[in-house]
Structure 1
Amino acid sequence: MLSASRTFLRSTAAPTLRAQRRHATSVAAFNGQKNAKGNYIVSMIEGDGIGIEISKAVKEIYAAAKVPIEWEDCDVTPSLINGRTTIPEPAVKSINKNLVALKGPLATPVGKGHQSMNLTLRRTFNLFANVRPCKSVVGYKTPYDDVNTILIRENTEGEYSGIEHTVVPGVVQSIKLITREASERVLKYAFEHARSINKDRVLVVHKASIMKKSDGLFVDTAKEVAKLYPDIKVEFELIDNTCLKMVTDPAPYEDVVMVMPNLYGDILSDLSSGLIGGLGLTPSANMGDHVSIFEAVHGSAPDIAGKGLANPTALLLSSVMMLRHMGLDSYGSKIEKAVFDTIASGTANRTRDLKGSASTSHFAQEVIKRLA
């Protein structure tokens, strides 16, 4: 399973205990097998815009770190089949075969009727939980010095179910779908995740004070699921209160794993990213029962594509989450430390979005120099 604590998704439990926990539950566990060369094959979705550049940086760093991984490039250029956005069958087969993928930013074609590619991937592979850790980065100063949050977002329904229609001209109805099945699945994952990283509190964020039936179902399901985890305390908080408290003082949220319905998770995860310096520093994982996709959640930035200005940090840290999910903790820790040491080393080695002057390739080479 994924794990996280004071480093991105790193468990403080002993390796044997981590292994026991990983194999003791079927909730988003990695079941991939090494090939004859002793390597895992990982599907690589380079993405659009700057995706090609930051994916190249990741591949170079992985080669230098001698990570036992082979990349299998995937083309996910969408097509419309019977009005439904679909990704190519070879990509579907690749990801289903390898069980894990790393994804750069994807742009959704405008004016062509395509659904968001991120939504399409979540739907295609039933990626029910989005995991977003946010931790203050030493050496990159923001107004907040003590951010260390873990947020788990239900990834398949809520306001993002796509159920909307025009009632009469000028009146549109959009339906928020909440089911017990999907709620129970993501809540169980949140409790399992908290247990795997030695946290004893799960915070359920909601708005059941207004949406009494939909969010009320999510809250009621959380109370039922909590009975299965007597070692973990469940707490509840309204989404607006959580936002206010986090921007006032994020420190109290270090000790909990937050879990919430889809839209709230979308908003609060970006808010948390803002506290540490933006999406360029934030890793993300989309977890499913069989397949997991790790991604940089920032945009494809076509305005700077091909100029060597892109920051590969978010994709690198997402790949670190991937390595830990696969049980390759030592490689993940080595790459993570090299990334953070590079950022802390000064503006000459940081990209422009981090108030530095380094190019994408220069940043990658500095990371490689610091691999221990």
Structure 2
Amino acid sequence: MKKYKICVIEGDGVGKEVIPETVRVLKNLGDFQFIKEYAGYECFKKYGDAIPSKTVETAKECDAILFGAVTTPKPHELEGKVYRSPILTLRRELDLYANIRPISNFRDIDFVIIRENTEGLYVGREYYNPCTEEAVAERVISKKGCYRVVKFAFEYALKHHRKKVTCVHKANVLRVTDGLFLKIFYQVSEEYKEYNIEVNDYLVDTTAMYIVKNPKIFDVIVTTNLFGDILSDEASGLIGGLGLAPSANIGDRYGLFEPVHGSAPDIAGKGIANPLATILSGAMMLYYLGMKKESKILRMAVKSVVEKGYTTPDLGGNLKTREVTDKVIEEVKKYSEVLL
């Protein structure tokens, strides 16, 4: 078996707790070389840069990146210094244009949100016009960006035996930007007609309602950057919260895997952070690396742990972060004896 090089970025807050626990789990499933690098607010305070060039260089040299969570400082805390968002920087530098966020409670809710990951309002083109007293943010939607993320969504549906792809937009108001996204969605869908994948589209506000009222109607959702960010956080409420929400950032050459949750400074250092979102992100990383059996084992292990109630307080349990990880490793070893 190949020895994979993994760039490990713990970040801030609970990232420093859940990433090492995930590394501990992964060591039971393969032969990895973990290379630690730094990014985040603590890194910024220490080195004057939230994501040093060495971190980006190492990320590019590795087979995958495992990313924790970072704290975003408030403007007054920066004292006029420039702060680069580590995750947005990595998404741009590595061209990680597709963000995959599975929504699953291991029972009756099972759909995936795929969002465009490099454009939209997150391009950071903002300015203030003192003459008109207007703050303006540019929303960038390109033909190339639309095409590749929509195609990614259809390929994902094929690979994972999904039956439907839904485009989420606001083209009734954002006629030019979302109008382009919707138009290209239906153009790309023609390329997949032979596979009998059902296609439809919903307005983003309607989608938000249906996620709450009837989430089973969704299979694969593809949408723009901001909409996908908000909807996936909303959807995580269906499965117990962000503590069970993993994600992957995928491009043509690189893959970065991270929990959806933030650095949670209110619970950092207390040993109660839920490691399962990060561990599930690790399972997505294993699949990306071609370790499909190991990925399945890890998902089965997490499912078993949740069903048995071996969880941290956010999911109603009373275990510590490390204790939950211990339970996951026990299940991993059990399933590995059968499947590996």
In structure 1, C-alpha distance between the alignment counterparts of 2:320 and 2:284, rounded to whole Å: 24
Once the two structures are superposed, what CA deviation does each residue of 1:233-267 show, in whole Å capped at 9, x if it has no partner? 331111111111121111111xx311011111111
Deviation at 1:213, TM superposition (A): 0.8
Partner of 2:118: 156
State whether structure 2 residue 57 is matched by structure 1 residue 93. yes
Of residues 324, 328, 335, the one that matches 2:291 is 328
Moved more, 273-282 or 68-77: 68-77
Of residues 103, 121, 124, the one that matches 2:93 is 124
RMSD (Å), alpha carbons: 1.9
CA 351–121 in structure 1, closer or farther in 2 if over 3 Å, else same: same
Partner of 1:7: none
TM-score by length of 1: 0.82
State whether structure 2 residue 7 is matched by structure 1 residue 43. yes
Once the two structures are superposed, what CA deviation does each residue of 1:133-168 show, in whole Å capped at 9, x if it has no partner? 011146xxxxxxx32111100111111121222233
Q: Is the 8 A contact 1:308 1:359 kept in 2?
A: yes
Deviation at 1:299, TM superposition (A): 1.3
State whether structure 2 residue 128 is matched by structure 1 residue 166. yes
Deviation at 1:66, TM superposition (A): 3.8
Q: Is the 8 A contact 1:294 1:322 kept in 2?
A: yes
Of residues 179, 184, 188, the one that matches 2:151 is 188
Partner of 1:364: 325
Once the two structures are superposed, what CA deviation does each residue of 1:322-367 show, in whole Å capped at 9, x if it has no partner? 1011110111122221222112112xx2111111110111111111
State whether structure 2 residue 62 is matched by structure 1 residue 62. no
Give the unaligned 5+ runs of structure 1.
1-33, 139-145
SS of 2:261 mapped into structure 1: coil
Q: Is the 8 A contact 2:40 2:70 kept in 1?
A: no
In structure 2, C-alpha distance between the alignment counterparts of 1:87 and 1:303, rounded to whole Å: 23
SS of 1:104 mapped into structure 2: strand
Q: Is the 8 A contact 1:108 1:117 kept in 2?
A: no
Q: Is the 8 A contact 2:11 2:70 kept in 1?
A: yes
Give the counterpart letter for 2:179 in structure 1: G
Deviation at 1:203, TM superposition (A): 0.8
Q: Is the 8 A contact 2:6 2:65 kept in 1?
A: yes
Q: Is the 8 A contact 1:107 1:117 kept in 2?
A: no
Deviation at 1:279, TM superposition (A): 0.7
SS of 1:343 mapped into structure 2: helix
In structure 1, C-alpha distance between the alignment counterparts of 2:262 and 2:220, rounded to whole Å: 26
Give the counterpart letter for 1:151 in structure 2: I
Higher helix share: 2
SS of 2:135 mapped into structure 1: strand
In structure 2, C-alpha distance between the alignment counterparts of 1:368 and 1:240, rounded to whole Å: 41
Q: Is the 8 A contact 1:190 1:259 kept in 2?
A: yes
Report sequence identity in percent: 38
SS of 2:253 mapped into structure 1: coil
Deviation at 1:169, TM superposition (A): 5.2
SS of 1:205 mapped into structure 2: strand
In structure 2, C-alpha distance between the alignment counterparts of 1:360 and 1:271, rounded to whole Å: 24
What is the 5 A alignment of 1:247-258?
247-253=212-218, 256-258=219-221
Q: Is the 8 A contact 1:108 1:115 kept in 2?
A: no
Q: Would you say how many aligned residue pairs link Structure 1 and Structure 2? A: 321
What is the 5 A alignment of 1:1-372?
38-63=2-27, 65-77=28-40, 87-110=51-74, 111-112=77-78, 113-137=82-106, 146-167=108-129, 168=131, 170-230=133-193, 231=195, 232-253=197-218, 256-346=219-309, 349-371=310-332, 372=334
| Runs of 4+ off more than 4 Å | 77-80
Give the counterpart letter for 1:266 in structure 2: D
Once the two structures are superposed, what CA deviation does each residue of 1:11-55 show, in whole Å capped at 9, x if it has no partner? xxxxxxxxxxxxxxxxxxxxxxx7xxx311111111211112112
Give the counterpart letter for 1:200 in structure 2: K
Q: Is the 8 A contact 2:273 2:312 kept in 1?
A: yes
Once the two structures are superposed, what CA deviation does each residue of 1:165-200 show, in whole Å capped at 9, x if it has no partner? 223353112221111011111111111111111223
